[in-house]
């Protein structure tokens, strides 16, 4: 048990009654007409049934009675003869219908869809029901994805380092591609298909134009061939200056005729290798990347130039809104909105603007990005980060579904109450059919894929929530736990409790009460609230926490940077007054006096200390909870997680002590009585250096 199998771990179920119930329906698999994708569905179902039920599974292309029939109305006469068309109508190109019915008067289960890929998704869904021990009698499920493009963004460089990657090196073995197909590629595709992920951007947003050259395109094509039957399209990142770097042109101006022609030719060439190429993700004029503004053009000019060349092939552009500049004298939280909102309505039809969940950068807690709800004419795509750049890398156990849900469920009030971010992103608010969610992947070539065994749950959650944003964090956690670890009820309960608490716990020991971006310089690991005097103020911690002798926090209200005014009046109302602002966002929006009375009756200073201590104590609790799983989960993963939580506990104390001691230099107040005093001095914590931290951006 090394975690390689992820949630596709088909170990024998233990509950005899459940097994018997399943066996009554699962003796054989009927597939009338084969296709690459339908064969994968059958193979996966066989693997799962044999593992979970320890039973031999037979195949047939005719129905003898009993078993599972898989297929589409066009590939299966039996399915065509069943009255499923109304149900299937609602499932589109990727959805599915699973029903228990009778054929030739004999009971059976039918997994059906309009397209082969829907059958594969339905098969994985059915397997999940078995893994999680659901009843399948009278089953009647109709499901279709809420979001069209459900995508992983790999920040993988061509030398196989992964920016902000903490699970080893890149999965893509460029050197040995296209000839050598690693089994990993196939298992990666299986895992994605099992949770409905249908796209992978293979390369880093800080892009290298080499990926667009012929030798690399052939390698990309080899990966696309592996992924295709699993319903996964490949995408690449487009370096905006590629026409200069690999095309020999003197400009990359998007309005220049030669530049346009170069991209058109390049894109046509890509499609000769990869006929279903998905398109491009683009980071432009952000953190030093080239872009249209280098030529006095705007983001829409740049995106539309690429979109025009991709459109004949049905390709899309995912143009990122992660832009900010230290030369602009504005709160960084405001800059993307200022640049992009005026462009609403000027993007081509096949462009999505990809927006990070919050206005700064993947912090443990941020308010939702003000662009959501503010660009009605433009499809906005969500960008979440699965890799825990600011959340303890692959060392800390942090289940991120609650973070994703907090954002998706937030109300923008753009069209009145109920205009949630989820409804912006799923297109329902403004009737957009082009929709997407991206997760910056936490996957590498570590044996268990994600470094921390629990980080697999974040990959899983991204897929499940992109398919259905209304699922709860709890449901998703429970599915993952049962499929990945155990069906033992008591342990499921314990694991769920640990996972569901973990994000809030991390917020408490890292950035309580709305603090943000106070991590170590550049690598973002560990506490660094003292970081100042760097080349860019917006990369320092003091810029974000603004602690001084009067208090702490960033005033983003009407009397401060006015970032709050970018939201609708209803949202402004929630946060604008110090008295009413929810405490979890207090220091995000307000500069608050140290003596300010909090809801608990404590002063702000005391409350801040308490939160830090509470966070660290809660990791101790997590440790105790995990220890109850000894003998229930396998020894290998038990040991791994034990070691990791123990590091997390030490580091939560490190965070707590460093931050409390540092902020104390401003508050000039004692650590409240009853809280154990830090055993080291502030200068000790400030002197700690990382000899090596993985995943750093190579050139800042």
Measured distance CA(300)–CA(305) in Å, rounded: 8
| Separation of alpha carbons 73 and 663, rounded Å | 66
Nearer to ligand BDP, 163 or 606 (CB): 163
Strand pairing report for 28-31 and 68-71: parallel
Tokens 């919050």 correspond to what residue? 358
Give, as ranges, the residues between 281 and 300 that touch ligand BDP (CB under 6 A): 283, 287
Q: What is the DSSP string of 273-335?
A: H-TT--EEEE--SSTT---GGGGT--HHHHHHHHHHHHGGGT-EEEEE-----TTS-S-HHHH
Q: Which is nearer to ligand BDP, 164 or 239 (CB)?
A: 164
CB of 524 to ligand BDP, least distance (A): 7
Residue 540 contacts ligand BDP per CB under 6 A: no
Crossing angle (nearest 10°) for helices 635-667 and 489-510:
30
Report the residue closest to ligand BDP, judged by CB. Answer: 697
Question: Which DSSP category does 342 fall into?
Answer: G
Q: Which of 32, 44, 361, 383 is catalytic?
A: 361
- Cα gap 678→72, rounded to integer Å: 64
Q: How buried is 476 (Cβ within 10 angstroms: 0-12 exposed, 13-18 middle, 19+ buried)? A: buried
Q: Which residue is catalytic, options 182, 187, 276, 287?
A: 287
Q: Who's near 206: CB < 8 A, 6+ residues apart?
A: 155, 163, 283, 287, 289, 697
Contacts of 31 by beta carbon, 8 Å cutoff, 6+ apart: 38, 39, 41, 42, 59, 61, 69, 70, 71, 76
β-bridge partners, 516:
none
**Residues 248-274, buried b or exposed e (16+ Cβ, 10 A)?**
ebeebbbebeebbebbbebbeebeebb
- For position 362 contacting ligand BDP by CB under 6 A, the verdict is yes
Q: Using CB under 6 A, pick the residue from 49, 200, 205, 443 that binds ligand BDP.
A: 205
Which of residues 362 and 605 has its CB atom nearest to ligand BDP in the complex? 362
Q: Please say which residue, 148 or 164, places its beta carbon nearer to ligand BDP.
A: 164
44, 116, 366, 389: the catalytic one is 389
Q: How far is the CB of 40 from ligand BDP (least distance, A)?
A: 33
Smallest distance from the beta carbon of 442 to ligand BDP, in angstroms?
13
Contact between residue 616 and residue 652 where contact means Cβ atoms under 8 Å apart: yes
Query: Known catalytic residue: 389?
Result: yes
Kindly state the smallest distance separating residue 695's Cβ from ligand BDP, in Å.
8
Site string for ligand BDP, 387-406 (x = CB under 6 A): --x-----------------
Per-residue x/- track, 145-164, ligand BDP (CB under 6 A): ------------------xx
Query: Residue 287 CB, nearest distance to ligand BDP (Å)?
Result: 6
Check if 361 is active-site. Answer: yes
How many residues bind ligand BDP (CB under 6 A)? The answer is 11
What single-letter DSSP state applies at residue 597? B
Nearest residue (CB) to ligand BDP, 280 versus 605: 280
Alpha helix stretches (DSSP H) within 546-585? 569-575
Site string for ligand BDP, 298-327 (x = CB under 6 A): ------------------------x-----
Q: How far is the CB of 261 from ligand BDP (least distance, A)?
A: 29
Q: Does 239 bind ligand BDP (CB under 6 A)?
A: no
Q: Which is nearer to ligand BDP, 335 or 420 (CB)?
A: 335
Contact 41, 119 (CB under 8 A): yes
For the residues of 598-655, what is the DSSP string, one character each? PTTSSBHHHHHHHHHHHHHHHHHHHHHHHHTTBTTB-HHHHHHHHHHHHHHHHHHHHH
Between 163 and 339, whose beta carbon lies closer to ligand BDP? 163
Q: Which CB atom, from 362 or from 530, has the smaller least distance to ligand BDP?
A: 362
The smaller minimum CB distance to ligand BDP, of residues 389 and 411, is found at 389
**Contacting ligand BDP (CB under 6 A), which of 192, 206, 237, 667?**
206
287 belongs to the catalytic site: yes
| Main-chain dihedrals φ then ψ at residue 379, nearest 5 degrees | -65, 125
Please identify which residue in 32, 116, 339, 361 interacts with ligand BDP, judged by CB under 6 A: 361
Q: Minimum CB separation from ligand BDP for residue 153, in Å?
A: 9
From residue 523, give the alpha-carbon distance in Å to each of 177, 377, 508. Answer: 31, 37, 20
Residues within the interface to ligand BDP (CB under 6 A): 163-164, 205-206, 283, 287, 322, 361-362, 389, 697
Residues annotated as catalytic are 287, 361, 389
């Amino acid at each position: 048990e090394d975690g390689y199998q992820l949630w596709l771990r088909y170990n024998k179920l233990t509950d005899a009654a459940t097994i018997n119930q399943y066996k009554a329906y699962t003796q054989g698999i009927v597939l009338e007409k084969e296709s690459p994708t339908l064969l994968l569905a059958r193979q996966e179902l066989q693997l799962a049934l044999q593992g979970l039920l320890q039973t031999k599974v037979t195949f047939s292309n005719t129905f003898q009675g009993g078993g599972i029939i898989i297929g589409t109305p066009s590939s299966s006469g039996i399915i065509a003869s069943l009255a499923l068309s109304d149900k299937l109508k609602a499932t589109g190109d990727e959805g599915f219908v699973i029903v228990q019915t009778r054929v030739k008067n004999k009971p059976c289960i039918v997994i059906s869809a309009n397209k082969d890929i829907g059958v594969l998704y339905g098969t994985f869904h059915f397997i999940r029901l078995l893994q999680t021990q659901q009843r399948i009698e009278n089953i009647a499920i109709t499901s279709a994805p809420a979001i069209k493009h459900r995508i992983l963004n790999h920040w993988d460089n061509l030398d196989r380092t992964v920016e902000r990657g903490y699970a080893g090196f890149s999965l893509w073995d460029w050197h040995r591609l296209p000839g050598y197909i690693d089994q990993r590629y196939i298992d990666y595709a299986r895992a994605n298909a099992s949770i409905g992920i249908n796209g992978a951007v293979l390369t880093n947003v800080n892009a290298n134009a080499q990926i667009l050259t012929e030798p690399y395109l052939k390698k990309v094509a080899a990966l696309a061939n592996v992924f295709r039957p699993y319903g996964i399209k490949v995408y690449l990142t487009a370096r905006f200056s590629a026409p200069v770097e690999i095309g020999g042109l003197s400009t990359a101006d998007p309005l220049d005729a030669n530049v346009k022609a170069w991209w058109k030719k390049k894109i046509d060439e890509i499609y000769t290798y990869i006929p279903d190429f998905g398109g491009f993700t683009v980071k432009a004029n952000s953190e030093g990347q080239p872009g249209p503004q280098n030529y006095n053009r705007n983001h829409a000019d740049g995106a539309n130039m690429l979109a025009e060349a991709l459109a004949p092939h049905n390709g899309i552009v995912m143009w990122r809104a992660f832009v900010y500049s230290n030369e602009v004298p504005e709160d960084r939280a405001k800059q993307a909105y200022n640049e992009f909102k005026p462009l609403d309505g000027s993007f081509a039809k096949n462009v999505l603007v990809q927006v990070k969940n919050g206005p700064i950068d993947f912090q443990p807690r941020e308010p939702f990005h003000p662009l959501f709800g503010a660009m009605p004419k433009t499809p906005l795509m969500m960008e979440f980060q699965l890799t825990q750049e600011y959340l303890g890398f692959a060392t800390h156990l942090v289940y991120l579904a609650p973070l994703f849900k907090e954002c998706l469920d937030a109300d923008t009030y753009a069209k009145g109450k109920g205009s949630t971010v989820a409804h912006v992103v799923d297109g329902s608010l403004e009737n957009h059919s082009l929709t997407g969610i991206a997760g910056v992947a936490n996957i590498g070539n570590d044996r268990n894929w994600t470094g921390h065994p629990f980080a697999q749950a974040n990959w899983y959650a991204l897929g499940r929530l992109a398919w259905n944003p209304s699922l709860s964090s709890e449901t998703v956690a429970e599915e993952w736990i049962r499929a990945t670890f155990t069906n033992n009820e008591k342990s499921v309960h314990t694991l769920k409790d640990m996972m569901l608490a973990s994000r809030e716990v991390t917020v408490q020991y890292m950035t309580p009460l709305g603090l943000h971006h106070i991590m170590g310089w550049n690598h973002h690991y560990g506490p660094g609230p003292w970081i100042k005097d760097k080349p860019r103020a917006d990369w320092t911690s003091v810029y974000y926490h603004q602690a001084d002798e009067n208090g702490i926090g960033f005033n983003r209200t009407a009397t401060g940077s006015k970032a709050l005014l970018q939201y609708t009046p209803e949202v402004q109302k929630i946060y604008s007054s110090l008295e009413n602002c929810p405490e979890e966002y207090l220091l995000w929006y307000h500069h608050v006096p140290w003596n300010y009375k909090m809801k608990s009756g404590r002063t702000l200073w005391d409350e801040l200390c308490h939160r830090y201590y509470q966070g660290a104590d809660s990791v101790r609790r997590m440790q105790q909870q995990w220890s109850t799983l000894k003998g229930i989960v396998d020894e290998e993963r038990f040991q791994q997680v034990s070691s990791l939580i123990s590091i997390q506990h030490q580091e939560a104390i490190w965070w707590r002590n460093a931050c409390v001691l540092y902020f104390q230099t401003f508050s000039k107040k004692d650590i409240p009585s009853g809280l154990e005093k830090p055993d080291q001095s502030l200068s000790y914590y400030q002197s700690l250096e990382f000899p090596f931290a993985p995943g750093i951006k190579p050139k800042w």
